[in-house]
Structure 1
Amino acid sequence: MSAESSKSGPPLKTSHPVTFLIIGGGIAGLSTALALRRVGHHVLVLERKNRDAARGSGGIRLPPNLTKILFHWGLKPALMQRALVTHTMLFIRYESGEDLGEHVWDKGMLKETRGIYMLCTHDDLYDLLYEAAQSSGARIRYGANVVNIDAEAQEVTLESGEKISGDVLVGADGEFGLSRSTVIGQDAFGTPTGLALYDTIISTAHVTKHANASTWKDHGIFTAFGNGRAIVAYPVHGTDNLAMQFYGPDSNEGKYGDEPSVDMPTVTAQLCDHFQPLMKLARKAVRVSIRDHGDLDEWISDDGPLVLIGEAAHPFPPGTIQATAMAVEDGAVLARMFSHLSEDRQIDSFLYAFQELRQPRTRSVRAGEFGNIFYMTLEDGEDSRQRDKSMRAMAAKGTNVLEGLNGDVSRLWDEIRTIFGYDCEDEADDWWMQWGMLRERALERNSMNAGTTLGTPLLDFSSMMSSVQVSDVTHEA
Structure 2
Amino acid sequence: MNTPRRTSQMLRFIVVGGSIAGVACAYALQEAGHQVVVLEQGDGRHESHGGLRSPPNMTRLLNHWGLGPAIARVSIKANRFTFMDGKSGEELGPLVLHDKLMKALAADFLYIQHGALHAMFVEFAKNAGKVVSVDPWKGMVITRNGVRLTADVIVGADGYGSVVRPVVVGPEGMKGVLDKRVSVNITVPTDLMRRHEDLVPLTVSPEWSLWLGHDCATHGLLTVNPDTSEREYAVVMHVPTDGKPAQESWARSQPLDEKFLKLDRFEPRVQKLVRLARTMTPTGYTIYEPFDNWVHESGRVVLIGEAAHPLMPNGSHNSAMSIEDAMTLSTLFSLPATKSHTPLLLSAYEELRQPRCAATQASELRKRDFVCMPLGPEQQARDDGLRNTRIRALLDWDEAEEEYLRETWEEYIDLFAFDAREAVEDWWTKWGPAILRPQMLDSRIESTLGKFESLRLEVDVSREAVA
Please give the TM-score of this superposition, normalised by the length of structure 1.
0.86
Whole-Å separation in 2 of the counterparts to 1:121 and 1:400: 31
* Aligned CA distance change for structure 1 residues 443 and 261 (closer, same or farther; 3 Å): farther
**Correspondence for 2:200:** 213
Equivalent residue runs for 1:133-172 within 5 Å: 134=124, 140-142=125-127, 144-172=129-157
Whole-Å separation in 1 of the counterparts to 2:321 and 2:4: 21
**Correspondence for 1:247:** 238
Deviation, 1:395, is: 2.3
Amino acid at match of 2:15: I
What whole-Å deviation, never above 9, does each CA across 1:362-419 have from its counterpart, x for those lacking one? 1111110010100010111221111111111222566379988999x97341111121
* Aligned CA distance change for structure 1 residues 397 and 164 (closer, same or farther; 3 Å): closer
Aligned-pair RMSD on alpha carbons? 2.8
Asked if the contact 1:202–1:281 (Cα under 8 Å) also holds between the matched residues in 2, the reply is yes
Aligned-partner SS, 1:303: coil
Asked if the contact 1:11–1:38 (Cα under 8 Å) also holds between the matched residues in 2, the reply is no
Question: Is residue 2:258 matched to residue 1:265?
Answer: yes
Asked if the contact 1:103–1:401 (Cα under 8 Å) also holds between the matched residues in 2, the reply is no
Deviation, 1:106, is: 1.4
Whole-Å separation in 1 of the counterparts to 2:199 and 2:402: 27
Equivalent residue runs for 1:45-124 within 5 Å: 45-52=38-45, 54-124=46-116
Asked if the contact 1:170–1:306 (Cα under 8 Å) also holds between the matched residues in 2, the reply is yes
Whole-Å separation in 1 of the counterparts to 2:378 and 2:70: 43
Whole-Å separation in 1 of the counterparts to 2:441 and 2:346: 23
**Correspondence for 2:121:** 129
Segments of structure 2 that go 5 or more residues without pairing to the other structure are 451-467
Question: Is residue 2:178 matched to residue 1:192?
Answer: yes
Question: Is residue 2:320 matched to residue 1:325?
Answer: yes
Whole-Å separation in 2 of the counterparts to 1:405 and 1:375: 23
Aligned-partner SS, 1:241: strand
**Correspondence for 1:334:** 329
What whole-Å deviation, never above 9, does each CA across 1:247-283 have from its counterpart, x for those lacking one? 0012332122441014152312321123212221113
Deviation, 1:315, is: 0.6
* Aligned CA distance change for structure 1 residues 170 and 397 (closer, same or farther; 3 Å): closer
Could you tell me which of 320, 344, 365 is aligned with 2:339? 344
Deviation, 1:197, is: 0.3
Aligned-partner SS, 1:411: helix
What whole-Å deviation, never above 9, does each CA across 1:10-46 have from its counterpart, x for those lacking one? 9934422101100000100011011111111111000
Question: Is residue 2:446 matched to residue 1:458?
Answer: yes
Amino acid at match of 1:413: W
Amino acid at match of 1:248: V
Whole-Å separation in 2 of the counterparts to 1:405 and 1:259: 47
Equivalent residues, number: 438
Whole-Å separation in 2 of the counterparts to 1:456 and 1:360: 20
* Aligned CA distance change for structure 1 residues 216 and 410 (closer, same or farther; 3 Å): farther
What whole-Å deviation, never above 9, does each CA across 1:283-332 have from its counterpart, x for those lacking one? 31111113211110010112341000010001110000111100000000
**Correspondence for 1:291:** 286
- What is the aligned-residue identity percentage? 26
**Correspondence for 2:269:** 274
Aligned-partner SS, 1:265: coil
Segments of structure 1 that go 5 or more residues without pairing to the other structure are 1-6, 135-139, 447-454, 463-477
* Aligned CA distance change for structure 1 residues 347 and 219 (closer, same or farther; 3 Å): same
Whole-Å separation in 1 of the counterparts to 2:250 and 2:175: 16
* Aligned CA distance change for structure 1 residues 55 and 47 (closer, same or farther; 3 Å): farther
What whole-Å deviation, never above 9, does each CA across 1:198-228 have from its counterpart, x for those lacking one? 0110011232315342344131111011111
* Aligned CA distance change for structure 1 residues 340 and 84 (closer, same or farther; 3 Å): same
* Aligned CA distance change for structure 1 residues 367 and 95 (closer, same or farther; 3 Å): same
Structure 1 range deviating more: 410-419 or 141-150: 410-419
Whole-Å separation in 1 of the counterparts to 2:295 and 2:184: 32
What whole-Å deviation, never above 9, does each CA across 1:61-81 have from its counterpart, x for those lacking one? 110000100101111111101
Deviation, 1:444, is: 4.6
Asked if the contact 1:20–1:41 (Cα under 8 Å) also holds between the matched residues in 2, the reply is yes
* Aligned CA distance change for structure 1 residues 456 and 98 (closer, same or farther; 3 Å): closer
* Aligned CA distance change for structure 1 residues 10 and 214 (closer, same or farther; 3 Å): farther
* Aligned CA distance change for structure 1 residues 211 and 405 (closer, same or farther; 3 Å): farther
**Correspondence for 2:436:** 440
* Aligned CA distance change for structure 1 residues 223 and 396 (closer, same or farther; 3 Å): same
What whole-Å deviation, never above 9, does each CA across 1:430-450 have from its counterpart, x for those lacking one? 11111133233273569xxxx
Equivalent residue runs for 1:334-373 within 5 Å: 334-373=329-368
Aligned-partner SS, 1:388: helix
Structure 1 range deviating more: 435-444 or 109-118: 435-444
Deviation, 1:130, is: 2.0
Structure 1 range deviating more: 11-20 or 161-170: 11-20
* Aligned CA distance change for structure 1 residues 394 and 305 (closer, same or farther; 3 Å): same
Whole-Å separation in 2 of the counterparts to 1:284 and 1:333: 37
What whole-Å deviation, never above 9, does each CA across 1:121-167 have from its counterpart, x for those lacking one? 11000111224xx3xxxxx2225100010010100001000101111
Amino acid at match of 2:245: N
Whole-Å separation in 1 of the counterparts to 2:430 and 2:70: 35
Please give the TM-score of this superposition, normalised by the length of structure 2.
0.87
* Aligned CA distance change for structure 1 residues 461 and 211 (closer, same or farther; 3 Å): farther
Whole-Å separation in 1 of the counterparts to 2:270 and 2:8: 58
Aligned-partner SS, 1:367: helix
* Aligned CA distance change for structure 1 residues 340 and 55 (closer, same or farther; 3 Å): farther
Whole-Å separation in 2 of the counterparts to 1:173 and 1:154: 17
